Homo-oligomer: A and B are copies of this chain.
Amino acid sequence: MTEERLMLDKQKTLEKNYPFWPHLTDEEKKRLTENCVAKTYEKGEMIHRSEEQCKGAILLLDGQLRVYIVSEEGREITLFRIREGESCVMSASCLLDSIAFDMMIEAVQKTEALIIPVHVLHPVMEQNPYVGLYLYKAATERFSDVMWTIQQILFMGIDQRVAHFLWDESLHQGQEIAMTHDEIARYIGSAREVVSKVLKYLAEDGIVSLGRGKIRILDKKKLKELL
């Protein structure tokens, strides 16, 4: 692919995915297009760690990212996930001066992304209010996701949380969910022992069957009744 063709592709991708694009000057469009960076993350790769410098706005072309927090004792809570066509502004949190908490971002699977680095995004954000409006609006949207997660964790019983998790995963992975009890516990912010207990209970009820590193959903109707 020629350099020119590549630029055109990048511009089209940015234009399609960032609603502030029509409000940019030609100069601003050029700057973002020329300086955005294509990047591939491997499964499990860390994209953002609290103590590190922030990367910029990450637009997901393919794959999935998971944004989570970790306690001092290593307990994880998944806040939300970023999927294809969505962009992650949390990785540009240094630009959002009202965000003052630490979070981690990892690639759940192999992920292709287009990144607008912070040093490129920052001056454009300073001179064009539509860019900041977009970034803060996107952050507020995640706020809403996080509130949902929190209400689940704080207000729902652990069995309901496991049921919800299995249900959501089955929408992505199908009837067989390839995850260990430990992984599920980390995803829903609980302990492995607790998750194993709930899964055993679900298995005894004929809702799931348990295999090595996988859970098979046998009765979707019954599972749904638990939600």
Contacts and interface: CB of A to CB of B under 8 A. Distances in A.
Contact of A139 (B101, B143, B151): B143
Interface string A153-177: 1110000000000000000000000
Given A75-B155, A136-B136, A146 B144 contact: no
A77 interface: yes
A143 B141 contact: no
A59 to B, nearest CB: 18
Nearest to A72: B155
Nearest to A147: B101
B140 A98 contact: yes
B136 A140 contact: yes
B189 A154 contact: yes
> Range of interface residues on chain A?
20 to 34
A87 to B, nearest CB: 13
Interface string A97-140: 01111000000000000000000000000000110110011111
Q: How many subunits of this chain does the assembly comprise? A: 2
A130 B101 CA distance: 25
A71 interface: yes
A141 B98 contact: yes
A148 interface: yes
Contacts of A139: 136, 139-140, 143
A185 to B, nearest CB: 14
A101 B151 contact: yes
A189 to B, nearest CB: 7
A77 B129 contact: no
Name, among A72, A139, A140, the residue most crowded by chain B CB atoms within 10 Å (CB to CB): A140
22 contacts: A69-B147, A71-B151, A71-B154, A71-B155, A96-B137, A98-B141, A99-B140, A99-B143, A99-B144, A101-B148, A101-B151, A136-B136, A136-B137, A139-B139, A139-B140, A139-B143, A140-B140, A140-B143, A142-B143, A146-B146, A146-B147, A146-B150
